Amino acid sequence: MILASKPGRPDSLVVTGARVLDPVEGVDAQVDVRVDDGVIAAIGTSLARNGHRVVDGAGLTLAPAFADPHVHLRTPGREDEETIATGTAAAAAGGYCAIVAMPNTEPVVDSAAVLGSLLEQAKAEAEVPVGFLASISKRQEGAELTEMGELADHGALGFTDDGRPVVAPALMWRALQYASITDRPIAVHCEDPTLSRGGHMHEGVVSAELGIGGWPSIAESLMVERDLALAAYEEQPLHLMHLSARESVEALARAQAAGVRATAEATPHHLVLTDDAVRSLDPNVKMNPPLGTEHDRQALLEGVRSGTISCIATDHAPHARHEKEVPFEEAPFGVTGLETAFAALHTHLVEPGLLPLETLLERMSTGPARAYGLERPRIAVGAPANLVLLDPNASWQVTEKGFRSRSANSWLLGKTLKGRVRLTVATGRVVYES
């Protein structure tokens, strides 16, 4: 088992009268769904309730629960910012039934020992199943490969040096070659540090006016091109994390058309905000990669629509309050996102008609699951219950107190969103209700 979570008795329930929407299964109907002991047992009208608890789904949408391919749980090392318990509770509140944790912790997840202890901890306290990526290089120093074979044997879901780029092309090349023996994907944070050095925001009109160090979009797209070329050469799959630049999306589309097995993520903040938001000087709009221009945002949105970008990833990056209560340039990169991803994208993309709800649901669930070779959350008889019940009409205000995450560095603080998670079922257990 590659994902770990705490044990618990599977639940039985009937969700009645909801719009049941699984675009991949081709389901879109107002029907009841019955879960017997954690498994979807029946889908239809006027189902026998078998004495189960009944959840009234009238006016709500029942969909496959979400999978997040990019989460920082900050454990081990920065448990003051997030723990496996709080991070997975936040995931449950966001409608997720599975999340993928990044290895850039202290210490780095670069050995079977660290990985093993995390999996043990997840079995004790994870509200929703977690998969752990191990690092590509030892201590993420970009010099020596980790023991990928052993790490895969001990349950690493894949490999990444996320938070840092793999600078040397030769190391990236060897990583792609060697990871092939494990059948686990390599995921890359694309950034050329010689180009991004000194940058705190996208280089352009806004950085010029504010005098904030610019991070040119070619710092990302050049690495995207390099890694796609290496993946093509080795005929290996590659997962591109948190894309932000138009040029990156264009390079990815070209590579996919040429047959490269590349998948990619976009985050809610890159799909909703632009570098114009940095004029607020709010450290909660500082992230890596930085927010791009409207041109970049449109390219990402088009990539998500077309499927070139198959995953929505939160890049949930908790930071301690005092670390963000500083001037913009002193603040660390990163924002939280697990508890607001669906609502933010529903409010800003689905409601205005920019993205069909079906596409959003697919990119938040099937897309990420496929990128990491996980079982796809689906609404079908016999499938394990991984469900999210959504209220598309509920308006709510994002507040610091409302978070289950241990950190509150959200770009949405104080904002009102439309669309709310009412219930999350992960591997047959009800893990969240509101």
Q: Which residues are catalytic, by number?
A: 315
Give the pair of three-digit tokens for residue 66: 């979400």
* Crossing angle of the two packed helices 294-306 and 246-257, in degrees rounded to 10: 30
Contact at 8 Å (CB) between 179 and 159?
Answer: yes
Q: 100 — phi, psi (to 5°)?
A: -115, 120
Contact at 8 Å (CB) between 285 and 411?
Answer: yes
Query: Terminus-to-terminus CA distance in the chain, angstroms?
Result: 30
Q: Which stretch binds other proteins (CB under 8 A): 44-52, 159-167, 173-181, 274-282?
A: 274-282
Residue 212 binds other proteins, judged by CB under 8 A: yes
Residue at 187: amino acid letter: A
Residues 247 and 295: their CA atoms lie apart, in Å, by 10
Q: Which stretch binds other proteins (CB under 8 A): 45-53, 69-77, 101-109, 205-213?
A: 205-213
Q: In the set 282, 351, 358, 375, which binds other proteins (CB under 8 A)?
A: 282
Q: In the set 39, 218, 232, 281, which binds other proteins (CB under 8 A)?
A: 281
Helix or strand run (H / E) with residue 83: none
Name every residue whose Cβ is closer than 8 Å to that of residue 408 and which is 6 or more positions away in sequence: 321, 336, 400
Residue 206 binds other proteins, judged by CB under 8 A: yes
Give Cα separations from 178 to 144, 149, 181, 314 (angstroms).
Answer: 12, 8, 6, 28
Burial-class residue 279 by CB neighbours within 10 Å (0-12, 13-18, 19+).
exposed
Q: Quick one: 168 or 208, whose CB is closer to other proteins? A: 208
Q: In the set 94, 163, 204, 337, which binds other proteins (CB under 8 A)?
A: 204
Q: Quick one: 26 or 327, whose CB is closer to other proteins? A: 327
Binding mask of the shown chain, residues 312 to 331, with x at each position contacting other proteins by CB under 8 A: ----------x--xxxxxx-
Q: Quick one: 53 or 197, whose CB is closer to other proteins? A: 197
Q: Quick one: 104 or 274, whose CB is closer to other proteins? A: 274
Helix or strand run (H / E) with residue 43: strand 39-44
Least distance in angstroms from the C-beta of 397 to other proteins: 13
DSSP state of 355: S
Helix H segments across 282-364? 294-306, 321-324, 341-345, 357-363
Number of residues that bind other proteins (CB under 8 A): 30
Least distance in angstroms from the C-beta of 321 to other proteins: 9
Q: Which stretch binds other proteins (CB under 8 A): 81-89, 204-212, 348-356, 382-390?
A: 204-212
Least distance in angstroms from the C-beta of 280 to other proteins: 4
Q: Which stretch binds other proteins (CB under 8 A): 141-149, 165-173, 208-216, 333-341?
A: 208-216
Least distance in angstroms from the C-beta of 340 to other proteins: 16
Q: Quick one: 9 or 322, whose CB is closer to other proteins? A: 322
Residue 210 binds other proteins, judged by CB under 8 A: yes
Residue list 374-433, contact with other proteins (CB under 8 A): 400, 413-414
Q: In the set 12, 104, 207, 405, which binds other proteins (CB under 8 A)?
A: 207
| CA pseudo-torsion sign 255, 257, 262, 265 | positive
Contact at 8 Å (CB) between 111 and 146?
Answer: yes
Q: Which residue has the tokens 């879960």?
A: 35
Q: Quick one: 103 or 334, whose CB is closer to other proteins? A: 334
Q: In the set 105, 121, 274, 284, which binds other proteins (CB under 8 A)?
A: 284
Least distance in angstroms from the C-beta of 416 to other proteins: 15
Q: Quick one: 198 or 307, whose CB is closer to other proteins? A: 198
Give Cα separations from 342 to 176, 401, 418 (angstroms).
Answer: 33, 19, 9
Please give the biggest Cα pair distance in the chain: 65
Residues 418 and 415: their CA atoms lie apart, in Å, by 10
Residues that bind other proteins (CB under 8 A): 197-198, 203-214, 216, 280-284, 322, 325-330, 400, 413-414
